[in-house]
Amino acid sequence: MKLVLEKKDSGLVPANASSQKKLGKFSEGERMGVTIEVMRSEQQLKMWWALCEIISKVLEGRYPRKSVSDYLLLKVGHSERIEYPDGSHVLSPKSVSFSTSQEVMNQIVDSVLPIVTEEFYPAADGELREELKHILWPDLLEVERQQSYLSAG
């Protein structure tokens, strides 16, 4: 059973209705063992979907952002094998929902950035290129701003 908890004061409490319902199945005072994983941040979720949306625009909307996400996840191996009774199989991308740990999401993002840089960044132009640059290399953008400021002064 997987629960989503958040820290409040000195304890952990259910973060959503589903987790509250699951936790309600336990008796008062019942002991349980838990393994804690830090979940990825909402900011990282927004960055992921913004990246997929920009790539969708680079591809002139031929593929919606969900398809872009699936492509990237399959490309980096964040997938599961689904086997059919006839012996055939397909790979299906795993979810990057909030239950995905921060560590796993960091690995996915680190693996995806070279793919985006090689496959999609060269095809981007103008505003889309700047948006990709902002996501791919936020530190570089800050250096460019500082250099621009210094050279203007």
3-state secondary structure of 89: strand
Confidence of residue 142 (pLDDT cuts 50, 70, 90): low
Which of the given ranges, 36-45, 69-78, 121-130, has the highest pLDDT on average?
A: 69-78
Looking at residue 67, its pLDDT comes to 97
Q: Which two tokens stand for residue 137?
A: 């290399």
Q: Provide long-range contacts, Cβ within 8 A and 24+ apart, for 89-92.
A: none
CA separation for the pair 54, 116 (Å, rounded): 11
CA separation for the pair 94, 74 (Å, rounded): 8
CA separation for the pair 17, 19 (Å, rounded): 5
Looking at residue 147, its pLDDT comes to 61
Interval 85-110: pLDDT, tens: 999 999 999 988 766 778 888 899 89
CA separation for the pair 67, 20 (Å, rounded): 32
Looking at residue 88, its pLDDT comes to 96
Tell me the pairing of strands 89-93 and 79-83.
antiparallel
Looking at residue 148, its pLDDT comes to 65
DSSP count for the chain of H helices, then E strands: 6, 4
Mean pLDDT over 5-17 rounds to 86
Give phi and psi for 145, each to the nearest 5: -65, -45
Interval 67-90: pLDDT, tens: 999 999 999 999 999 999 999 999
Find tokens 């949306």 and name the residue.
Answer: 53
- Residues 6 or more apart whose CB falls under 8 angstroms from that of 145 comprise none
CA separation for the pair 36, 54 (Å, rounded): 33
